[in-house]
Amino acid sequence: MICSFNIQFLGSFKKRDNEAIAELLKVYDIVLIQELVSPPFDGIYPDGEAYESDTEARIFFEAMIARGFDYVLSEEDTGPSDKIHSKSSSTEWWAAFYKKNKVKYALDLPEGFLAEDRSNNENYERVSYAFPFRSIANEKLDFVLISVHLAAGAQEHERRKHELLSIVQWIEQNDDLEEDFIILGDMNIEDSTELADFLPAGYTSLNNECRRTNTLINSKPGGGAKPYDHVIYRPQFTSEEIDEAYDLEVVDLIGSMKASWIKPDPYPGDPYDHNLFKQYFSDHHPIVFRMGSQDLVN
């Protein structure tokens, strides 16, 4: 079971209810996070510069580790401006959490950033990151998850489309060892019309119905609903590996978090307070899908 979740500005909001979110995510085998804006632990950038951990990011990682997850963290952050290594919402790190009793990190498969230059890259708003995994049970199931956060804004359709085509080109250059590549995350797709134009030939989305994945509720027609998050893959190669009988699940974050709310303050999801809710939880719902038929996994 794989979950993709734009958690919004992890490492920034001090109100984040890390325990409640980690409790929600603990049932999945792999969790990919977008919008981690600060490093959770001390480390060294590729250029040799040291960086220090961020308290808010660390608390979330510790909550996930306490629930049996190991993790992979990108070597540095990435963003659209010339300056990275910023520890702010202008850049993002990539993170994948996984259960070591279910999968292992497969370093013999394509892995890491899709481009060398992680700042102001001409092909990417934020240079995407490839996370390869292999099942523990019999090692029959292996695949590469490419976590993405594409350019935001209705006017940025062509930029998003170019980003996806750049990812597809990278896949074509790296599929001699592995053919099962799954692109997933916050793609900022506005509607079904954009998705139809966005998808390259030979690719499909598990969210072809364009179900809403953002939490925003307002009085406008449609309530602010947007199908931002997707799971995109090549059916020619990966139909057997992705369990297509398991419908993509959009987890109701607003409903799920209400049961765990124990603070004396009113729950910000009822009535819904968008600015407050996203600080405690996120402005996106997690999306979940399943890899592997039973004969592949068992």
- The per-residue pLDDT string of the chain (298 residues; one tens digit each, 9 = 90 and over) reads 999 999 999 999 999 999 999 999 999 999 999 999 999 999 999 999 999 999 999 999 999 999 999 999 999 999 999 999 998 999 999 999 999 999 999 999 999 999 999 999 999 999 999 999 999 987 889 999 999 999 999 999 999 999 999 999 999 999 998 999 999 999 999 999 999 999 999 999 999 999 999 999 875 766 689 999 999 999 999 998 998 888 899 999 999 999 999 999 999 999 999 999 999 999 999 999 999 865 554 4
What DSSP string describes 78-99?
BBSSS-----STTSBEEEEEE-
Phi-psi region of 139 (alpha: psi -120 to 50; beta: other; left: phi over 0): left
Using CA atoms, how far residue 57 sits from 62, 113, 262, in Å, is 9, 21, 22
Q: H/E element holding 19?
A: helix 18-25
Domain assignment of residue 117, given as a range:
2-297
CB of 16 closer than 8 Å to CB of 2: no
pTM confidence score: 0.96
Q: What is the pLDDT of residues 241-279, one digit of tens each?
A: 998 888 899 999 999 999 999 999 999 999 999 999 999
Which residues are within 8 A (CB) of 188 and not within 5 positions of it... i.e. 6 or more apart? 149, 150, 151, 152, 153, 156, 160, 228
What total number of domains does the chain contain? Answer: 1
Which residues are within 8 A (CB) of 280 and not within 5 positions of it... i.e. 6 or more apart? 13, 15, 16, 17, 257, 268
CA nearest to 287, candidates 176, 152, 177, 189: 189
Query: Which tokens in the block code for residue 219?
Result: 């009085």
Q: What is the CATH number of the domain that holds 7?
A: 3.60.10.10
